[in-house]
Amino acid sequence: MKRASTQAGFTLIEMFAVVVILLIIGGLGFKAIQMTATASAATVFRADLDTRVHRTLARVARELQEAKLEELVPEPSEPFGASTVAYRCAEVPDIEEIVWGEFRQLVLAPSPEDPADGRDNDHDGIVDEHELRLIHDVGLSSERMTVLVRNVAPRLEGEQANATDDNGNGLVDEPGFCLARRDGILHIRLTLLGKDPRGEVVARTAETTVWPRN
C-alpha cells in the first residue's frame, strides 16, 4: 500500500508539472499574439498619420493655389518663413479680369487643451501640440474658423529652438507648420505628432510646393 501511494504521488506531481508547462506555453503564446496585434495596430496608426499629414498639405495647397502672391502678409521669406499668413484668393477667375475675395488667414495656434507651457496639459503624451486653423472673411461679421488639423508639432521634425537650421531645409527654428517662399514658389511643410498603441510618440512630416497666382 505504501508503494502504491508513492507511485500515485509521483503521478500527481507529473500532472501538476504538465499543467504548469501548458500555462507557461499558453502565456507566451498569448503574449506573442498580443505583441503582433500591437505592432499591427502601430503600423495602421502610422499609416493613418501619414494620410492625415498629406491630406492636410493637399488642402492647404489648394487654398493657396489661387492666392494673390503680392498680398501675402507677412512675407514668408527665408530663413524664418511664416506659420500664420493672410491672403486673398481669386473667387471668380476670368480670362480678362480676376475678382479677389475677402481676406483669409491660415493660423498655427497652440491647442486650447494644451497651452504652450512645456507641459502635457491634456495628458495625451504630446507636449505643446498646436492646431492649424483656416479663417474666412477675416475681421468681418461673417468671419468663420475651421480647424484643418490638430496635433501639429511645436517644431518641424528635426528642428530645435536654438537659432540654427538643424534639419537643413534653409529655415531657422521653424514651427510644425510653416510657409517659405523661394524664387516665387511657396514651400509648405507640416509635421504631425501622435502616440501609437505601443505608447511611442510618432512624427510624420511632409512637404509640398505651390505656385500662387500673381
Give 141-194 pLDDT, tens digit per residue: 999 999 999 999 999 999 999 999 999 999 999 999 999 998 888 999 999 999
- The residue ranges of DSSP E strands in 93-143, in sequence order, are 99-100, 104-110, 130-136
pLDDT of residue 38 exceeding 80: no
Find the DSSP H helices in the chain: 2-65
Return all residues near 74 (Cβ < 8 A) that are at least 6 apart. 82, 85
Helix (H, G, I), strand (E, B) or coil at 153: coil
pLDDT of residue 203 exceeding 90: yes
Q: What confidence tens digit (pLDDT) does each residue in 39-84 have?
A: 788 888 999 999 999 999 999 999 998 888 778 899 999 999 999 9
pLDDT of residue 126 exceeding 70: yes
